[in-house]
Chain A
Amino acid sequence: MKFAIFLGCNIPIRLKQYETASRAVLEALGVRLVDIREFNCCGYPLRNIDLKAFVLSSARNLALAEKENLNMLVLCKCGYGAFRMAEHLMKENAKLREEVNAILGKEGLRYEGDTQIKHLLSVLFNDVGTKTIRERIARPYENLRIATHYGCHALRPSGVVGFDDPVAPTIFDQLVEATGAESSEWSMKLECCGAPLLGTNDELSRKFTEKKLADAKRAGANYLATGCPFCQIQFDTMQQAIESEGGTNHHVPAILYPQLLGLCMDIDKAILGLHNTQIDIAGVENFLAREPGRKST
């Protein structure tokens, strides 16, 4: 298993731990990663501004991976959604694809559509498999309740992104349960985190986050698991802001899935970056089983 890892703009500078934790977990699970330095913006932030600029930006990355004959592993849900959408648009509209290829051709690139686009969670679920993951767990979690946050752009529009069942998805829950933790049932699981509105309508953005936090709390979750830098930063910094401004303390810190998984695989905590968040998540360690080697089935 070999993939071109796509980090995007946010992770290397604002969420380094997502990168280091993912690399460590994937390496331990036998997934090889290749870095392509020339990768650029996935195009997602350009969608509001100019559709063609978005597709072009996306396509350049896909063409770069294609040149190396590699499939893409994307850490970000919005990036994943953007790539799948660009792929879809270029398949549906041959004229658009040719226009994009004419521009890419100037630097000797071409997009043919041969590269498969996968999100970290789909690689872990479909390519690695929960069985392998379970075998690698050193100390499973006990009595830990996790609320999984799927992220809009991985789930919808389902016909384009094809991540999981859009109405009743289970991939993330199964991955969480592989660690020994329990995946909480909560009604707002599939709703938006509020991040896309940050900077345009902060008040509404905050409202979205608060609603989700309150619902996760109601469902009895100890942590909220994410697989996207936008969602993770939103839940972490917005929750911190709400608390520090005297709002409700929801006590549902957000944790990235590879951090959650890495810890029970006995990966170095420094690599997992548990302390790099606004709200400390190091307490998740207390949920690890005392007896090492217990394997859940």
Chain B
Amino acid sequence: MFYTVAWHTSLGIFVVGLLYKTTNWFRHKVGPDADGISTSRRISAAARGIVATVFSAKIGTLLKIFLMDVLLQRWLMKKDVLRWLAHICIYGGFMLLLLMHGLDKLVTAALFDNYYSTLNPFMFLRDLFGLVVIVGIGISLYRRLMSKAPRPKSTGVDYYAIIILAVIMISGVLLEGTKIVSHSRYQEMVDEYAGLDDPEELGALEAYWVDKFGVVSPNVKKPFDNQTLKEGKLLHEMSCADCHSRPQWGFIGYGAATVIRPVALSLDRADVQNLLWYLHFLACFLGLAYLPFSKFFHIFSTPAFLLVNAVVKEGESDPANVATRDAMQLDACTHCGDCTIRCSVAVAFNEIPNPNILPSEKLAAFKAFLGGKKPSAKRLTKIQEGSHICTDCHRCTDVCPIGINLEFLWSNLNRKLAQLGYPKPEAWAREAMGGDFNLTNFKEEPLSLTPVDKEFAGELTGSAQASTFSVCFGCQTCTNVCPVVESYENPKEVLGLLPHEIMHCLALKQKELAIGSNMLWDCVTCYMCQERCPQGVRVTDVLYELKNLALKHLKKKAA
């Protein structure tokens, strides 16, 4: 009952989840060209596209991609043989386990008349496949621990997936181990299948199973005399051998059984194997239900993307299908982190701990723009900062093992940010700071000579040069040589404060005035002012640091 309900519930969630996630591919709009194309049009274009492709020469391309890239994962082998081995072990081993063991009633029993999970070769193969998965996990752990290259932090998504997988594997091994040693399990089987009444015969069979099959019995103990074992063997061959190979063939479970042998009787009395059974099945069902929403969705999305990307081409294919392909990219990411390892600005993350700097994490941020709801101002500021630190160097796109056009995603992320009023931080700060510290407000009232912000001068600590403003004697050379000032007929109107006035503000510790000036954002950083200053004030460098402060102020405000 529990089993049936749990199985159907999780299967139901899995199917609905899969459908929901798949429809996202037809709903989400990534590029600007996708805006005018409806979901229904995209679904019908996809259906037509699939039919047309399957009945064309392109089917050869698809088959080749399916064999080489989906099944054999050639793209990964080309990158790193050890990583390929790890991945193929985990995915191959787990698939085989799923088909032969997890779905045995549907698959294995249908194919083989003599299928029993406790019979060879099935018993041996189950543990062999399990071993393959464990080897794969071992290699990836080794790679993660040994790798010196900075890599993206594993996130919650990665951990949930790994935890569920680990629980399935460990509970499975322990379940097999406790079953091998369990006397009560042995007793149940004897009652059901042996049909023995004679206590001597029962004793002989039990002795044989304790001796050869690892059962831990509260009744009989080793060593046994040969006569008893011989009799036990006869009875075993009559009643048990048809369905039971020696448990040593299930070598991992048998290893576990050997370890737990000293406490086997207590475990059996506490019915731990039953508990493990629940755990094992619950983990499997949970894994199944959670799969479409987890990192493991890539089992479906990545192959689907690889196939679609092989045949859908910009300019040639229906724009509706291009839009769908673009949306699929967001789900095709396996969070392998190659992009982040190669990212040109990832190093900045050490100083600006915003995960949206890293391409592997920024991709997840993109999804915030796909629902109908506008993300919070705090979230938008965070994404804006991360997204605009990117220098568009294209390296992430070049290394993505499955060919996601990340550069395309980033330019659209910036487009969507700008649409919501969050353009490049420098352009944004120009507007936002003007609003915060409107200089016209200051005109009317006399400035207080009591420092507005005593800490202010202390904030310009990035380098010793920022304190050079204090030797300014007001000659205005900086302003006179500034090509920005020169560009405007009435520069004060546009720029707020001119360079020499900003230096005055610093001396007067007028933080608001200094960081509120538009001059900061119009500075071309040509260093004319600094070069010509007779007093050695590092004017441009001070302006740079004031920009840092202004952006920090805005960041604080958004948080």
Contacts and interface: CB of A to CB of B under 8 A. Distances in A.
B146 to A, nearest CB: 13
A13 B483 contact: no
A56 B350 contact: yes
B426 interface: yes
Interface string B411-455: 000000000000011110010000000000000000000000000
A192 B427 CA distance: 20
A41 interface: yes
Contacts of A270: none
Contacts of A51: 462-463, 544-545, 548
A13 B524 contact: no
Contact of A56 (B351, B424, B544): B351
Contacts of B389: 45-46, 49
Given A40-B345, A89-B463, A197-B522, A50 B527 contact: no
Contacts of A275: none
Contact of A166 (B148, B425, B525, B531): B531
Contacts of A50: 348, 351-352, 548, 551
Contacts of A291: none
Nearest to B150: A107
A200 B424 contact: yes
Given A51-B544, A92-B463, A157-B540, A41 B525 contact: no
Contact of A47 (B392, B465, B538, B544): B544
Contacts of A60: 347
Contacts of A52: 351, 462
B391 interface: yes
A108 B148 contact: yes
Contacts of A200: 424, 426-427, 430, 521-522
Contacts of B236: none
Contacts of B351: 50, 52-53, 56, 103
B484 interface: yes
Interface stretch (A126-134, A201-209, A258-266): A201-209
B280 interface: no
Contacts of B108: none
A270 B345 CA distance: 32
Contacts of B522: 197, 200-201, 204
Interface string B111-151: 00000000000000000000000000000000000001110
A57 B345 contact: yes
A273 interface: no
Given A12-B394, A93-B464, A107-B148, A46 B348 contact: yes
B393 interface: yes
A10 interface: yes
Given A49-B425, A51-B545, A60-B347, A156 B394 contact: no
Given A157-B538, A200-B427, A194 B524 contact: yes
A45 B345 CA distance: 10
Contacts of A166: 531
A26 B345 CA distance: 28
A195 to B, nearest CB: 8
Contacts of B544: 47-48, 51
A200 B424 CA distance: 7
A55 B148 CA distance: 22
B425 A9 contact: no
Nearest to A152: B526
Contacts of A10: 391, 393
Given A51-B548, A92-B464, A40 B346 contact: yes
A52 B526 CA distance: 21
B541 to A, nearest CB: 8
A103 B348 CA distance: 11
Nearest to A61: B347
Contacts of A280: none
Contact of B525 (A13, A196, A199, A201): A196
B376 interface: no
A191 interface: yes
B547 interface: yes
A277 interface: no
Contacts of B217: none
Contacts of B392: 9, 13
Given A45-B391, A48-B426, A51-B545, A156 B526 contact: yes
A166 B526 CA distance: 12
Contacts of A279: none
A96 interface: yes
A49 B352 contact: yes
Contacts of B484: 204
A41 B530 contact: no
A158 interface: yes
A191 B526 contact: yes
Contacts of A194: 524
A215 to B, nearest CB: 12
Contact of B483 (A47, A96, A153, A192): A192
A152 B525 contact: yes
Contacts of A92: 463-465
**By CB atoms of chain A within 10 A, which of B148, B150, B352 has the most?**
B352
B390 to A, nearest CB: 9
B528 to A, nearest CB: 7
B526 A192 contact: yes
A107 B151 CA distance: 11
Nearest to A199: B424
A191 B393 contact: no
A230 to B, nearest CB: 11
**By CB atoms of chain A within 10 A, which of B150, B350, B545 has the most?**
B350
A152 B351 CA distance: 27
Interface string B36-66: 0000000000000000000000000000000
B527 A156 contact: yes
A207 B489 CA distance: 13
B149 A107 contact: yes
Nearest to A102: B350
In the A-B complex, the 9 residue pairs with the smallest Cβ-Cβ separation, listed nearest first, are A9-B393, A156-B527, A51-B462, A53-B351, A9-B391, A192-B526, A152-B526, A13-B394, A41-B344
25 contacts: A10-B391, A12-B394, A13-B392, A40-B345, A46-B345, A46-B348, A46-B389, A48-B425, A49-B352, A49-B425, A49-B551, A50-B348, A51-B463, A51-B548, A60-B347, A92-B465, A93-B463, A106-B150, A157-B540, A157-B541, A192-B483, A200-B424, A200-B521, A204-B484, A204-B522
Given A12-B394, A48-B426, A92-B464, 20 more contacts: A9-B344, A9-B391, A9-B393, A45-B391, A47-B525, A50-B351, A50-B352, A50-B548, A50-B551, A51-B463, A53-B352, A56-B350, A156-B527, A156-B531, A157-B531, A158-B531, A197-B524, A200-B424, A200-B430, A207-B487
